[in-house]
Amino acid sequence: MGIFDAIAGQVAGALSNTQPSAGGVNLMGVVSQLLNNPQLGGLSGLMGAFQSKGLGDIVASWIGTGSNLPISMEQIQSALGHGPLQAMAEKAGLSSDQMASTLSEHLPGLVDQFTPNGKLPEGDLMSQGLGMLQGFMKSNG
């Protein structure tokens, strides 16, 4: 269960470093929304969105087995677009800039954890992993 422990640690760290709004920030919900967004096409579609904006080298570093290259909040904003980013921000009770900053800080590590063998997981595995992570977060929250 090491991969899920690592992901839970990343999410818990993100939650503790984010300014919560009333009721707290549900970063796991935001990450789940991002990875399950039909407009983006899951994790592979999300990676495609970054690649289409010329960020392929950055994304490849997250998926690969080496060090993760950083991404700026401006690059996050460019890759995701204003609409989807704003929707996620509203759901989490953050501004678009806060959401972009949070994603730029945590998305590389989360994608890295979801791709431990340097490959994108199958959709079903992603769903299972998110379900397990959500259960872990609820039981420890």
- CATH number reported for the structural domain that contains residue 19 in this entry: 1.10.10.690
For residue 87, give both structure tokens.
């929707």
Distance CA 135, CA 98 (A): 26
Distance CA 111, CA 114 (A): 5
pTM of this structure: 0.66
What is the tens place of the pLDDT at every residue in 20-64?
Answer: 333 345 666 666 667 666 666 777 788 888 999 999 999 999 988
Which domain, by its residues, includes 35? 2-139
Distance CA 110, CA 130 (A): 11
Asked if residue 70 has pLDDT above 90, the reply is yes
What is the tens place of the pLDDT at every residue in 95-130?
Answer: 999 989 988 988 888 888 878 888 876 654 455 555
Cβ within 8 Å of residue 22, ≥6 positions away: 93
CB 60 within 8 A of CB 120: no
pLDDT at residue 117, as a whole number: 82
* Domains identified in the chain, total number: 1
